[in-house]
Protein backbone atom coordinates (compact mmCIF):
# COMPACT_ATOMS: atom_id res chain seq x y z
CA UNK A 1 0.00 0.00 0.00
CA UNK A 2 1.30 3.45 -0.94
CA UNK A 3 0.56 6.20 1.59
CA UNK A 4 -1.22 8.99 -0.29
CA UNK A 5 0.45 12.18 0.92
CA UNK A 6 -1.50 14.21 -1.65
CA UNK A 7 -4.67 13.18 0.15
CA UNK A 8 -3.35 14.44 3.50
CA UNK A 9 -2.04 17.70 2.04
CA UNK A 10 -2.64 18.54 -1.64
CA UNK A 11 -0.23 21.48 -1.29
CA UNK A 12 2.75 19.26 -0.41
CA UNK A 13 5.31 19.63 -3.23
CA UNK A 14 8.31 17.66 -1.94
CA UNK A 15 8.70 14.62 0.29
CA UNK A 16 11.15 11.91 1.19
CA UNK A 17 10.18 8.27 0.67
CA UNK A 18 11.59 4.77 0.36
CA UNK A 19 11.49 2.68 -2.81
CA UNK A 20 9.58 -0.51 -1.97
CA UNK A 21 9.23 -2.13 -5.43
CA UNK A 22 9.57 -1.86 -9.19
CA UNK A 23 6.71 -2.81 -11.47
CA UNK A 24 7.05 -5.15 -14.44
CA UNK A 25 6.38 -2.14 -16.69
CA UNK A 26 9.32 -0.19 -15.27
CA UNK A 27 7.51 1.94 -12.69
CA UNK A 28 8.76 2.94 -9.24
CA UNK A 29 6.65 2.20 -6.15
CA UNK A 30 7.29 4.26 -3.02
CA UNK A 31 6.01 3.74 0.50
CA UNK A 32 4.47 7.24 0.36
CA UNK A 33 3.98 9.69 -2.49
CA UNK A 34 2.97 13.26 -3.31
CA UNK A 35 2.17 12.18 -6.91
CA UNK A 36 -1.56 11.90 -7.66
CA UNK A 37 -2.30 8.89 -9.91
CA UNK A 38 -4.46 9.20 -13.03
CA UNK A 39 -8.12 8.82 -12.08
CA UNK A 40 -11.49 10.52 -12.01
CA UNK A 41 -10.67 12.47 -15.16
CA UNK A 42 -7.60 14.05 -13.51
CA UNK A 43 -4.18 13.31 -15.07
CA UNK A 44 -1.40 11.75 -13.04
CA UNK A 45 1.23 14.10 -11.66
CA UNK A 46 4.68 14.61 -13.14
CA UNK A 47 7.94 15.66 -11.51
CA UNK A 48 11.35 14.33 -10.47
CA UNK A 49 12.92 11.76 -8.14
CA UNK A 50 16.41 12.41 -6.76
CA UNK A 51 18.74 10.04 -4.87
CA UNK A 52 22.49 9.78 -4.31
CA UNK A 53 23.29 12.42 -6.91
CA UNK A 54 21.00 10.84 -9.51
CA UNK A 55 17.81 12.19 -11.02
CA UNK A 56 14.84 10.52 -12.72
CA UNK A 57 12.08 12.48 -14.47
CA UNK A 58 8.57 11.16 -13.79
CA UNK A 59 6.02 11.51 -16.61
CA UNK A 60 2.93 10.42 -14.70
CA UNK A 61 1.62 8.30 -11.85
CA UNK A 62 -0.85 5.42 -12.18
CA UNK A 63 -2.75 3.10 -9.89
CA UNK A 64 -1.30 -0.39 -9.67
CA UNK A 65 -2.55 -3.62 -8.16
CA UNK A 66 -4.25 -3.26 -4.82
CA UNK A 67 -3.51 0.09 -3.20
CA UNK A 68 -0.14 0.82 -4.79
CA UNK A 69 0.77 3.85 -6.89
CA UNK A 70 3.45 3.46 -9.57
CA UNK A 71 5.51 6.40 -10.81
CA UNK A 72 6.19 6.12 -14.54
CA UNK A 73 9.58 7.46 -15.76
CA UNK A 74 9.75 9.79 -18.74
CA UNK A 75 12.63 7.77 -20.21
CA UNK A 76 13.90 4.17 -19.79
CA UNK A 77 16.71 5.12 -17.41
CA UNK A 78 18.09 3.22 -14.38
CA UNK A 79 15.62 3.22 -11.49
CA UNK A 80 16.44 3.96 -7.86
CA UNK A 81 17.03 0.55 -6.23
CA UNK A 82 14.56 -1.02 -3.82
CA UNK A 83 15.36 0.27 -0.35
CA UNK A 84 16.80 3.57 -1.59
CA UNK A 85 15.76 6.83 0.05
CA UNK A 86 14.53 9.29 -2.57
CA UNK A 87 13.32 12.87 -2.62
CA UNK A 88 10.18 13.55 -4.63
CA UNK A 89 9.69 16.91 -6.35
CA UNK A 90 6.28 17.59 -7.86
CA UNK A 91 5.74 19.68 -10.99
CA UNK A 92 3.77 22.07 -8.82
CA UNK A 93 2.63 24.52 -11.48
CA UNK A 94 0.96 21.71 -13.46
CA UNK A 95 -0.59 20.11 -10.36
CA UNK A 96 -1.94 23.40 -9.04
CA UNK A 97 -3.65 24.10 -12.37
CA UNK A 98 -5.23 20.62 -12.19
CA UNK A 99 -6.48 21.50 -8.69
CA UNK A 100 -7.98 24.77 -9.92
CA UNK A 101 -9.68 23.13 -12.92
CA UNK A 102 -10.96 20.18 -10.87
CA UNK A 103 -12.55 22.48 -8.29
CA UNK A 104 -14.03 24.61 -11.07
CA UNK A 105 -15.71 21.53 -12.55
CA UNK A 106 -17.40 20.90 -9.21
CA UNK A 107 -18.84 24.40 -9.52
CA UNK A 108 -19.94 23.69 -13.09
CA UNK A 109 -21.85 20.65 -11.84
CA UNK A 110 -23.75 22.99 -9.51
CA UNK A 111 -24.46 25.65 -12.12
CA UNK A 112 -25.70 22.98 -14.57
CA UNK A 113 -27.98 20.75 -12.43
CA UNK A 114 -28.03 17.62 -14.59
CA UNK A 115 -26.41 14.22 -14.21
CA UNK A 116 -22.74 14.07 -15.23
CA UNK A 117 -21.86 11.36 -17.76
CA UNK A 118 -18.15 12.07 -18.20
CA UNK A 119 -15.38 14.60 -17.80
CA UNK A 120 -11.69 15.37 -18.13
CA UNK A 121 -9.14 17.79 -16.72
CA UNK A 122 -6.04 19.46 -18.15
CA UNK A 123 -3.76 22.26 -16.97
CA UNK A 124 -5.67 24.88 -18.97
CA UNK A 125 -9.27 23.70 -19.10
CA UNK A 126 -11.71 20.94 -18.26
CA UNK A 127 -15.02 19.64 -19.51
CA UNK A 128 -18.08 17.83 -18.23
CA UNK A 129 -20.65 15.87 -20.20
CA UNK A 130 -24.21 16.30 -18.98
CA UNK A 131 -27.33 14.18 -19.42
CA UNK A 132 -29.37 17.07 -20.80
CA UNK A 133 -31.36 17.48 -24.02
CA UNK A 134 -30.55 21.12 -24.81
CA UNK A 135 -27.66 23.52 -24.36
CA UNK A 136 -27.98 26.15 -21.59
CA UNK A 137 -30.16 29.06 -22.71
CA UNK A 138 -27.90 31.86 -21.45
CA UNK A 139 -24.12 31.38 -21.69
CA UNK A 140 -23.42 34.75 -20.09
CA UNK A 141 -25.59 33.99 -17.06
CA UNK A 142 -23.88 30.60 -16.65
CA UNK A 143 -20.42 32.16 -16.80
CA UNK A 144 -21.48 34.86 -14.35
CA UNK A 145 -22.78 32.22 -11.93
CA UNK A 146 -19.49 30.32 -12.07
CA UNK A 147 -17.41 33.44 -11.45
CA UNK A 148 -19.79 34.37 -8.65
CA UNK A 149 -18.88 31.12 -6.90
CA UNK A 150 -15.20 31.95 -7.40
CA UNK A 151 -15.59 35.48 -6.03
CA UNK A 152 -17.38 34.12 -2.96
CA UNK A 153 -14.04 32.54 -2.00
CA UNK A 154 -15.85 29.61 -0.39
CA UNK A 155 -13.89 27.10 1.67
CA UNK A 156 -13.15 23.69 0.11
CA UNK A 157 -12.76 20.82 2.57
CA UNK A 158 -12.98 17.06 2.70
CA UNK A 159 -14.67 14.53 4.95
CA UNK A 160 -15.75 10.92 4.94
CA UNK A 161 -19.01 9.05 4.64
CA UNK A 162 -19.81 5.36 5.09
CA UNK A 163 -21.22 3.38 2.15
CA UNK A 164 -24.49 3.01 4.08
CA UNK A 165 -24.72 6.78 4.60
CA UNK A 166 -24.08 7.34 0.90
CA UNK A 167 -26.77 4.81 -0.02
CA UNK A 168 -29.17 6.83 2.13
CA UNK A 169 -28.26 10.04 0.26
CA UNK A 170 -28.03 9.06 -3.44
CA UNK A 171 -28.45 12.69 -4.50
CA UNK A 172 -24.79 13.26 -3.54
CA UNK A 173 -23.61 11.15 -6.48
CA UNK A 174 -23.73 13.34 -9.59
CA UNK A 175 -21.67 11.12 -11.90
CA UNK A 176 -23.81 8.65 -13.82
CA UNK A 177 -21.03 6.74 -15.61
CA UNK A 178 -18.58 6.37 -12.70
CA UNK A 179 -19.68 5.42 -9.21
CA UNK A 180 -17.67 6.06 -6.03
CA UNK A 181 -15.31 3.16 -5.23
CA UNK A 182 -16.66 0.56 -2.85
CA UNK A 183 -15.03 -2.11 -0.76
CA UNK A 184 -12.21 -0.08 0.82
CA UNK A 185 -13.98 1.53 3.75
CA UNK A 186 -15.38 5.04 3.99
CA UNK A 187 -15.87 7.23 0.93
CA UNK A 188 -14.29 10.69 0.66
CA UNK A 189 -16.56 13.71 0.24
CA UNK A 190 -15.55 17.13 -1.05
CA UNK A 191 -17.52 20.05 0.38
CA UNK A 192 -17.51 23.55 -1.11
CA UNK A 193 -18.83 26.00 1.45
CA UNK A 194 -19.60 25.61 5.12
CA UNK A 195 -21.14 22.64 6.92
CA UNK A 196 -24.60 24.21 7.15
CA UNK A 197 -24.38 26.43 4.05
CA UNK A 198 -22.63 24.48 1.31
CA UNK A 199 -22.51 25.07 -2.44
CA UNK A 200 -21.54 21.52 -3.39
CA UNK A 201 -21.07 18.20 -1.64
CA UNK A 202 -20.12 15.06 -3.56
CA UNK A 203 -17.82 12.01 -3.46
CA UNK A 204 -14.44 12.69 -5.08
CA UNK A 205 -10.89 11.37 -4.74
CA UNK A 206 -9.10 14.17 -6.60
CA UNK A 207 -7.07 17.17 -5.47
CA UNK A 208 -8.66 20.61 -5.01
CA UNK A 209 -7.75 24.13 -3.98
CA UNK A 210 -8.46 25.29 -0.44
CA UNK A 211 -10.83 28.12 -1.41
CA UNK A 212 -12.75 28.88 -4.60
CA UNK A 213 -11.07 32.28 -4.93
CA UNK A 214 -7.84 30.46 -5.73
CA UNK A 215 -9.36 29.18 -9.00
CA UNK A 216 -9.23 32.62 -10.61
CA UNK A 217 -11.46 33.93 -13.38
CA UNK A 218 -13.26 31.30 -15.47
CA UNK A 219 -14.29 31.43 -19.12
CA UNK A 220 -16.98 29.25 -20.64
CA UNK A 221 -15.81 27.42 -23.75
CA UNK A 222 -17.53 25.36 -26.40
CA UNK A 223 -20.85 23.65 -25.74
CA UNK A 224 -21.14 20.59 -27.98
CA UNK A 225 -23.93 18.18 -28.74
CA UNK A 226 -22.65 14.63 -28.20
CA UNK A 227 -25.92 12.75 -28.52
CA UNK A 228 -29.66 13.19 -28.18
CA UNK A 229 -29.35 13.59 -24.39
CA UNK A 230 -25.71 14.62 -23.99
CA UNK A 231 -24.14 18.09 -23.94
CA UNK A 232 -20.40 18.64 -23.45
CA UNK A 233 -19.44 21.92 -21.76
CA UNK A 234 -15.85 23.21 -21.69
CA UNK A 235 -14.54 25.49 -18.95
CA UNK A 236 -11.23 27.40 -19.20
CA UNK A 237 -8.93 29.08 -16.71
CA UNK A 238 -8.41 32.69 -17.77
CA UNK A 239 -4.79 32.64 -16.60
The CATH number given to 3-90 is: 2.40.30.130
> Average pLDDT for residues 204-212, to the nearest whole number?
96
Neighbours of 211 (CB within 10 A): 16
The pLDDT value recorded for residue 161 is 86
- The CATH architecture that domain 95-237 belongs to is 2-Layer Sandwich (3.30)
The pLDDT value recorded for residue 162 is 86
Q: Which helix H or strand E contains 141, and what residues bound it?
A: helix 139-151
Give the percent of the chain with pLDDT over 70: 96
Confidence of residue 22 (pLDDT cuts 50, 70, 90): very high
Confidence of residue 178 (pLDDT cuts 50, 70, 90): low
> Average pLDDT for residues 133-159, to the nearest whole number?
95
Entry pTM? 0.92
Distance of alpha carbon 223 from its chain centroid, rounded?
Answer: 22
> With contact defined as beta carbons under 8 Å apart, do 211 and 153 qualify?
yes
From 62, 63, 67, 40, select the one nearest 190 (Cα to Cα): 40
The answer, yes or no, to whether residue 3 has pLDDT greater than 70, is yes
Residue ranges of domains in the chain = 3-90, 95-237
Confidence of residue 221 (pLDDT cuts 50, 70, 90): very high
Amino acid sequence: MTKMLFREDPYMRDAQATVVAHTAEGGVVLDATVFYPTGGGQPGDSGVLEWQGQRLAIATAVKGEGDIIALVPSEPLPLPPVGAQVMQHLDWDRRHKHMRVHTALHLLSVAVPFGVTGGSISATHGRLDFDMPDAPDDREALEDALNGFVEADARVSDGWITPAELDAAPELVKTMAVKPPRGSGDIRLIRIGEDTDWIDLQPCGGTHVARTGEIGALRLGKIEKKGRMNRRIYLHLDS
